[in-house]
């Protein structure tokens, strides 16, 4: 069965390629974000694909609709499996992103980013939201906006999975960062949980970073995570 694990390659080029060479494409997919993409560009994506991996391009596009439309089109030319845009860009921008994908024969999964897992209620007040703002209700509003504008799913923290499943249903992809079996020193993500709990509550994919990438044997660590997920939970995944 397909693995729900996505490994975050938040490294420079050589370190990322070295790590990828130690992983099994049948056991995980790879996420390429700003750090690696700005260093290696489309060429590093191609090298990772040549190793057999599906690629989640995590650039969180957030711009005027016409610019995002072109960015999504260019991303598809690289041959990625999944990409995302910021839900806060608004309905017109989200619709432009989904329209760009409609022209593709092999459509990638298009996600909206609700709120970064580094943000909490205090963070939202700092950037101008009212004192009565609730993280969960804001995430649900963003998710509904994404769905109504043709996106396939959202990136959300573990804390919002159950509420999103209740409000939006099963036919909507939930990708969940902030995953770790144990707390990690220097962790800057505030809304986190374990792999098994995230999947049991309804996540389709989980993004795992330092727990795997800092391990002396990352391949064995991925296998350990998979083995610790109940088979019934894995069988229930899409």
Core vs surface per residue 18-33: b (16+ CB within 10 A) or e = ebbeebeeeebbbbbb
Catalytic residue among 29, 31, 60, 221: 60
Tokens of 53: 């991996």
Determine whether 70 is an active site residue: no
Annotated catalytic sites, by residue? 60
């Amino acid at each position: 069965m397909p693995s729900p694990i996505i490994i975050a390659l938040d490294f420079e080029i050589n370190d990322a390629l070295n790590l990828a060479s130690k992983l099994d494409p049948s056991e995980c997919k790879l996420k390429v974000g700003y750090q690696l993409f700005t260093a290696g560009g489309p060429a590093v994506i191609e090298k990772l694909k040549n190793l057999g991996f599906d690629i989640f391009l995590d650039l969180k596009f957030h711009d005027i609709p016409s610019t995002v439309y072109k960015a999504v089109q260019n991303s598809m030319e690289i041959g990625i499996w999944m990409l995302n845009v910021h839900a806060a860009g608004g309905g017109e921008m989200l619709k432009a992103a989904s329209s760009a994908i409609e022209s593709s024969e092999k459509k990638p999964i298009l996600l909206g980013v609700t709120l970064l897992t580094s943000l909490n209620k205090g963070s939202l007040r700092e950037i101008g939201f009212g004192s009565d703002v609730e993280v969960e209700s804001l995430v649900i509003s963003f998710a509904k906006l994404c769905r109504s504008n043709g996106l396939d799913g959202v990136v959300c923290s573990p804390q919002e999975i159950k509420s999103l499943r209740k409000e939006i249903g099963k036919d909507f992809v939930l990708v969940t960062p902030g995953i770790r079996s144990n707390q990690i020193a220097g962790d800057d993500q505030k809304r986190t949980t374990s792999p098994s709990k995230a999947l049991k509550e309804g996540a389709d994919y989980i993004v795992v970073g330092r727990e795997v990438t800092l391990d002396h044997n990352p391949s064995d660590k991925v296998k350990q995570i998979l083995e610790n997920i109940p088979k019934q939970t894995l069988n229930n995944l899409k």
